[in-house]
């Protein structure tokens, strides 16, 4: 295989544990990084990705955050798109009668109304800390800036109830992802991991020059468009069905194993 850009999702894909890459993965990325660009593509906020760039020794490369809503190259902002204040306020109204906490992200800031098991898990595995304040105040503070991402932390019942309502009322305004039974993530409608990668390609490059790895619904468009789309074995069945190849599970260093066997430098 001869590709110019390697793009990988993090959680459930490149990370062999909940919060880190393995020495095997570090070794394989180090082997190829002088010959091809390696770009991390995630729903995470920037500071939850920087330490992984450090570990992989690719801080000279840009990162794609918030499912493509924010692209950074070091301190330089290459692209930014946010969910409007009006849409955020409408989502908030939908959650008021449900047991749902609304996490809001803008740039490298994360706001939540209170601590919870979900929030503490996020702190532990992403090595970041939120600002704790009432959601109405956060919406007021964000104002016209809007938010790069919303994470709705629900009960399973709450997520089951809210998901179709969001899709019926707001699918033309935002991208809606069900991360798991209790998490719903919202992103600006006009962005995706695919669109963010396209933004980074050089003039003579296309998505055919990209090899991409993923595991979840928000990776599907990226894998379908890439010259080589690889799903890890633990990926959702819908993701595996559209992939060109299936790698080992993330816990078995699937991305590193696929690179070792298929990318010869």
Q: Which of 237, 234, 244, 218 is nearest to 15 (CA)?
A: 234
DSSP, res 18: S
Residue extents of the structural domains in the chain: 5-80+191-262, 85-188
> Which residues, given as ranges, of the chain have pLDDT below 70?
1
pLDDT at 4: 96
Neighbouring residues of 169: CB distance < 8 A, sequence distance ≥ 6: 90, 94
- Of 108, 104, 138, 102, the closest CA to residue 48 belongs to 108
Q: How far apart are CA 55 and CA 157, in angstroms?
A: 38
CATH fold group of domain 85-188: 3.30.1240
- CA 38 – CA 50 distance, rounded (Å): 14
pLDDT of residue 64: 98
Burial 171-210 (b: 16+ CB within 10 A, else e): eebbbbbbbeebbbbbbbbebbbbbbbbebeeeebebebb
Q: Beta partners for 39?
A: 7
Radius of gyration (Cα) for the chain, nearest Å? 18
pLDDT the model gives residue 2: 78
Tell me how far apart the alpha carbons of residues 222 and 42 are, in angstroms, rounded to a whole number.
11
| CATH number attached to the domain at 5-80+191-262 | 3.40.50.1000
pLDDT at residue 262, as a whole number:
95
The pLDDT of residue 191: 94
3-state helix, strand, coil in the chain (%, to 5): 45, 25, 35
What pLDDT score was predicted for residue 258?
A: 98
Joined tokens for residue 67: 């499912």
Tokens of 253: 């260093």
pLDDT in tens, 190-214: 899 999 999 999 999 999 999 999 9
| Three-state DSSP state, 211 | strand
Q: In the prediction, which pLDDT does 1 show?
A: 67
pTM score? 0.94
The whole-number pLDDT of residue 179 equals 85
Residue 69 is predicted with a pLDDT of 97
């Amino acid at each position: 295989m001869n590709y110019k850009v390697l793009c990988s999702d993090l959680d459930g894909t490149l990370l062999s544990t909940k919060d880190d890459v393995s020495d095997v993965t570090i070794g394989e990325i180090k082997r190829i990084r002088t010959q091809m660009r390696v770009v991390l593509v995630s729903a995470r906020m920037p500071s939850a990705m920087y330490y992984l760039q450090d570990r992989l020794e690719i801080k000279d490369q840009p990162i794609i955050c918030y499912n493509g809503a924010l692209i950074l190259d070091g301190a330089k902002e290459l692209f930014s798109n946010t969910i409007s204040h009006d849409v955020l306020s409408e989502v908030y109204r939908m959650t008021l009668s449900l047991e749902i906490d609304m996490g809001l992200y803008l740039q490298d800031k994360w706001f939540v109304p209170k601590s919870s098991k979900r929030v503490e898990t996020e702190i532990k595995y992403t090595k970041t800390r939120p600002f704790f304040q009432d959601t109405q105040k956060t919406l007021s503070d964000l104002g016209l800036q809007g938010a790069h991402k919303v994470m709705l932390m629900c009960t399973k019942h709450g997520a089951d109830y809210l998901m179709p309502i969001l899709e019926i009322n707001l699918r033309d305004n935002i991208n809606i992802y069900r991360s798991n039974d209790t998490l719903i993530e919202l992103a600006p409608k006009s962005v995706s991991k695919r669109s963010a990668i396209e933004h980074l390609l050089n003039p003579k490059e296309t998505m055919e020059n990209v090899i991409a790895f993923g595991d979840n619904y928000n990776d599907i468009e990226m894998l379908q468009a890439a010259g080589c789309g690889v799903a890890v074995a633990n990926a959702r069945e819908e993701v595996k069905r559209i992939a060109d190849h299936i790698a080992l599970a993330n816990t078995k260093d699937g991305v590193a194993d696929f690179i070792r066997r298929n990318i010869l430098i």
